[in-house]
Amino acid sequence: MFAYLLRRLALTVPTFVALMFITFVAIRLVPGDPVEVRTGERGISPERLAQFRHELGLDQPVWKQFLDYATGLVHGDFGTSVVTNEKVLTEFLQLFPATLELAFFAMIFAILLGIPAGVVAALKRGSVYDQALMGLSLTGFSMPIFWWGLLLIMFVSERLGWTPVSGRIDLIKFYFEPVTGFMIVDAFLSDQAGAVKSAFHHLVLPMVVLGTQPLATLARMTRSSMLEVLGEDYVRTAHAKGLSPFRVVGLHALRNALIPVVTIIGLQIGGLMAGAVLTETIFSWPGVGKWLIESIGRRDYPALQGGILLISSVVIFVNLTVDALYGFINPRIRHGQ
Amino acid sequence: MASDTTQQPPSPLRAFWVQFCENRGAVAGLIVLLFIIGLAVFADWVAPYSPIEQFRDFTKLPPFWVEGGNIHYLFGTDALGRDTLSRLIYGARISLFIGLTVMVVSIIAGILLGLLAASVGGLLDVAIMRIMDLILSVPGLVLAILIVAVLGPNLTNTIVAVTVVFLPRYVRLVRASALSELGKDYVIASKVAGAGPLRLMLVAVLPNCLAPLIVQAALGVSEAILEAAALGFLGLGAQPPIAEWGAMLADSREFIRSNPWIVTLPGLAILVTVISINLFGDGLRDALDPKLKRS
């Protein structure tokens, strides 16, 4: 098991180096001079220009620039934003908890609704429930989530006035220092009356929007995995032993049906990060996805480069964790490798 | 006369069609899809106006059945007075064009790279598959954003970006099915009969890998359309005044309170198109590849 994990970890190193190289080259290919972005359109003296180029390391040969960049990365230096002059890593770490909170609750939402929906559909196979649930799942799977977000804002926020349109909490009423970075948890820790409610109201629509596609996928996967398991001999045996249907489904069938579903949950993480870009843009949720899009608009290429590298690293790391977990749940994988 | 009692087996195409028609959802999807394709192909005749013509006296009209609507502009007009119905129809052309181009290019590239990896093996195989793993390790939309940010936002680069994002799944699929076919007797027989490597891969192996590939391709079109619309929505896809559904949604965001119709219709168009392609794709899968059949 340990050797397997080590091998998987070793395999991610070349991926990471290649990723580093590609983002480095890609950003160099962007038309436009990063110095110009920093100094604006008005002309500056050649000496100042040369000084800027030197500060940014742009007067070095390209291989030296890459080497410097790689050395910096190893030391945790992901570059400096040319717009805010902040370290990219610092900015990322400030914003990442917001994305993490959103993704975490979206996944919880998807799991809590998707798995029961899949189980019900499998148990009532071919019934109206099954067809309705699978129809909904297909719709969710086909949904352009940016439109879904706009629709929900239109009805829930604008027409019904139930939830705010943007942000993470009512900043006029509540202020507290971040402790965990999860607004809901921080609001709870702050002991201010109504803070948790405000945070939840801000979270609920983005959570639903980001959770919709994983929800649809999970429902579908749980259904087909459950159908497969329900036909197995041990389920028939459990029935024959006279166990209650609840025990058979809940204990014998579901536990085995969930093994492939866990992988699916892991595979959704990359999609969640991509979906977060759209969701955060729609709801002005101050996370890394919105930051990434804004850094394109501001031509802040170091931020874009570092941001993409960091987001990809997160996804690679999560996939690795899921692999490890999967080996833990399903011993066949562990020994098969 | 005796031969009348033994039934001819149905031709493969007919068998496929009978299977396909058993799935009512798939047939419905196909009908809607054909309708949308018809609109896209005959947009010049079907659309009442040009998608970029601005009727400045009739801006932000609701659809005709809502109070304040105008029968001349069936689905209303946008903020610049452009006819929404015409823009939606031309938008179908753009979206289907993107979806199909991405599919065709990534299938061809996927077949070439996949067969190459499977037949040559060794270092080339490792190199190709590691690159594909690399692409897969970056979240799809994030990678597409990087590519478009580098190349510049326009329709062509949208297609390039989405193709790169979707390429790995085709390569992996072709490689995996080619590898499993390569060990089979008929391939060995073909090799013994003196078939060269090119003939072996293209004539013997490839046709037997096609079924899962076709299924993946059908479902890939809908995902490509969604991805391209997302890029358009972020302002990184087709640029104005092109009538692209995602970009139309982005333009309409500021009117979400005052003119909900402008927001509703383009998204609905995306949703209906994607659902119909997915229904059709599910039907294809069930009919072509019984092994993959869900439930």
What distance in Å separates the CA atoms of residue A18 and residue A26, rounded to the nearest whole number? 12
Burial class (CB in 10 A: 0-12, 13-18, 19+), A42: exposed
**φ and ψ of B271, to 5 deg:** -60, -50
Instruction: Check whether B171 has a pLDDT greater than 90.
Output: yes
DSSP state of B36: H
Token duo for residue B179: 């590898």
Instruction: Check whether A199 has a pLDDT greater than 60.
Output: yes
Distances (CA, A) of B182 to A87, B124, B178: 52, 17, 6
DSSP string spanning B194-215?
T--HHHIIIIIIHHHHHHHHHH
DSSP state of B69: -
Domain that holds residue B137: 41-290
- pLDDT per residue as tens digits for the range A248-304: 887 788 888 888 888 778 778 878 888 999 999 999 899 999 999 888 888 788 888
- Asked if the Cβ–Cβ distance from B278 to A270 is below 8 Å, we say no
Residue B125 lies in a domain: yes
**CATH code: domain of residue B225:** 1.10.3720.10
CB atoms within 10 A of CB A149: 24
- Banded model confidence at residue A330, pLDDT cuts 50, 70, 90: low
What distance in Å separates the CA atoms of residue A86 and residue B290, rounded to the nearest whole number? 56
What distance in Å separates the CA atoms of residue A162 and residue A201, rounded to the nearest whole number? 8
Return left, alpha or beta for A198; rule: phi > 0 is left, psi -120 to 50 is alpha, else beta.
Answer: alpha
Q: What part of A 37-56 touches B (C-beta under 8 Å)?
A: none
**CB contact A18 to B (< 8 Å):** yes
The pLDDT of residue A325 is 75
Distance of CA A268 to the CA centre of its chain: 8
Residues of chain B neighbouring A153 (CB-CB closer than 8 A): 256
What distance in Å separates the CA atoms of residue A335 and residue B197, rounded to the nearest whole number? 36
Measure CB to CB from residue B222 to each of A142, A220, A227 and give the nearest one.
Answer: A142
Residues of chain B neighbouring A27 (CB-CB closer than 8 A): 150
Residues of chain B neighbouring A298 (CB-CB closer than 8 A): none
DSSP three-state, residue B254: helix
DSSP string spanning B126-160?
HHHHHHHHHHHHS-HHHHHHHHHHHH-SSHHHHHH
What distance in Å separates the CA atoms of residue B269 and residue A71, rounded to the nearest whole number? 49
Q: Which of B126, B135, B137, B223 to mutate to test the interface with A (most CBs of A within 10 A)?
A: B137
Residue B113 lies in a domain: yes
Instruction: Give the 3-state secondary structure of chain A.
Output: CHHHHHHHHHHHHHHHHHHHHHHHHHHHHCCCCHHHHHHCCCCCCHHHHHHHHHHCCCCCCHHHHHHHHHHHHHCCCCCECCCCCCEHHHHHHHHHHHHHHHHHHHHHHHHHHHHHHHHHHHHCCCCHHHHHHHHHHHHHHHCCHHHHHHHHHHHHHHHCCCCCCCCCCCCCCCCCCCCCCCHHHHHHHHCCCCHHHHHHHHHHHHHHHHHHHHHHHHHHHHHHHHHHHHCCHHHHHHHHCCCCHHHHHHHHHHHHHHHHHHHHHHHHHHHHHHHHHHHHHHHCCCCHHHHHHHHHHCCCHHHHHHHHHHHHHHHHHHHHHHHHHHHHHCHHHHHHC
DSSP state of B2: G
Length of chain B in residues, anyone?
A: 295
Residue B34 lies in a domain: no
Residue B24 lies in a domain: no
- Banded model confidence at residue B1, pLDDT cuts 50, 70, 90: very low
Return left, alpha or beta for B18; rule: phi > 0 is left, psi -120 to 50 is alpha, else beta.
Answer: alpha
DSSP three-state, residue B222: helix
Measure B48 CA to nearest chain A CA, in Å.
26
Residue carrying structure tokens 């190199």: B127
The pLDDT of residue B295 is 41
Residues of chain A neighbouring B256 (CB-CB closer than 8 A): 150, 153-154, 158
CB atoms within 10 A of CB A268: 24
Residue B13 lies in a domain: no
What b-and-e string marks burial along B209-218, b requiring 16 or more CB atoms within 10 Å of the CB?
Answer: bebbbbbbbb
How many structural domains does chain B have? 1
Residue carrying structure tokens 């199909």: B100
pLDDT average, residue stretch B165-192: 88
- pLDDT per residue as tens digits for the range B243-292: 889 988 888 888 887 778 888 889 999 999 999 999 998 888 888 766 55
What distance in Å separates the CA atoms of residue B160 and residue B102, rounded to the nearest whole number? 8
The pLDDT of residue A223 is 92
More confident residue, B179 or A334: B179
What distance in Å separates the CA atoms of residue B265 and residue B66, rounded to the nearest whole number? 14
Q: Which residues of B touch A (CB under 8 A)?
A: 130-131, 133-134, 137-143, 145-147, 149-150, 152, 222, 226, 229-230, 233-234, 236, 246, 249, 253, 256-257, 260, 263-264, 266-268, 270-271, 274-275, 278-279, 294-295
What distance in Å separates the CA atoms of residue A311 and residue A19, rounded to the nearest whole number? 11
ipTM of the complex: 0.84
Residues of chain A neighbouring B152 (CB-CB closer than 8 A): 31
Instruction: Check whether A57 has a pLDDT greater than 80.
Output: no
- pLDDT per residue as tens digits for the range A23-32: 888 777 776 6
What distance in Å separates the CA atoms of residue B231 and residue B151, rounded to the nearest whole number? 13
What distance in Å separates the CA atoms of residue B121 and residue B127, rounded to the nearest whole number? 10
Residue B176 lies in a domain: yes
The pLDDT of residue A140 is 92
The pLDDT of residue A41 is 57
**φ and ψ of B70, to 5 deg:** -130, 125
- pLDDT per residue as tens digits for the range A311-321: 888 888 887 88
Distance of CA B182 to the CA centre of its chain: 29
Measure CB to CB from residue B278 to each of A19, A142, A148 and give the nearest one.
Answer: A142
Q: Which of A127, A133, A150 to mutate to test the interface with B (most CBs of B within 10 A)?
A: A150
What distance in Å separates the CA atoms of residue B260 and residue B287, rounded to the nearest whole number? 41
Residues of chain B neighbouring A277 (CB-CB closer than 8 A): 141-142, 145, 234
**CB contact A304 to B (< 8 Å):** yes
DSSP three-state, residue B284: helix
Confirm if A273 and A214 have CB atoms less than 8 A apart. Answer: no
Confirm if B143 and B164 have CB atoms less than 8 A apart. Answer: yes
More confident residue, B106 or B61: B106
The pLDDT of residue B34 is 94
The pLDDT of residue B59 is 76
More confident residue, B21 or A144: A144
pLDDT average, residue stretch B137-154: 87
Residues of chain A neighbouring B134 (CB-CB closer than 8 A): 15, 18-19, 22
Measure A326 CA to nearest chain B CA, in Å.
18
What distance in Å separates the CA atoms of residue A115 and residue A271, rounded to the nearest whole number? 18
Confirm if B91 and B269 have CB atoms less than 8 A apart. Answer: yes
**CB contact A270 to B (< 8 Å):** yes
- pLDDT per residue as tens digits for the range B17-66: 888 888 888 899 999 999 999 999 998 888 888 888 888 777 777 887 77
Residue B134 lies in a domain: yes
**CB contact A313 to B (< 8 Å):** no
- Asked if the Cβ–Cβ distance from B137 to A319 is below 8 Å, we say yes
What distance in Å separates the CA atoms of residue B270 and residue B272, rounded to the nearest whole number? 6
Distance of CA B43 to the CA centre of its chain: 19
pLDDT average, residue stretch B71-92: 84
DSSP state of B242: S
**CB contact A257 to B (< 8 Å):** no
Burial class (CB in 10 A: 0-12, 13-18, 19+), A307: buried
The pLDDT of residue B294 is 46
Measure A190 CA to nearest chain B CA, in Å.
34
User: What's the half-sphere exposure (Cβ side, CA atoms, 13 Å) at A155?
Assistant: 7
- Banded model confidence at residue A231, pLDDT cuts 50, 70, 90: confident
- pLDDT per residue as tens digits for the range A79-134: 888 778 888 898 899 899 999 999 999 999 999 999 999 999 998 888 899 999 99
- Banded model confidence at residue A194, pLDDT cuts 50, 70, 90: confident
The pLDDT of residue A34 is 63
Measure B171 CA to nearest chain A CA, in Å.
18
Q: Which of B146, B245, B275 to mutate to test the interface with A (most CBs of A within 10 A)?
A: B146
Residues of chain B neighbouring A147 (CB-CB closer than 8 A): 249, 263, 266-268, 270-271
Residue B231 lies in a domain: yes
CB atoms within 10 A of CB B288: 20
Nearest to B209 by CA among B101, B283, B110: B110
Measure B276 CA to nearest chain A CA, in Å.
9
Measure A35 CA to nearest chain B CA, in Å.
17
The pLDDT of residue B280 is 92
Measure CB to CB from residue B137 to each of A30, A292, A315 and give the nearest one.
Answer: A315
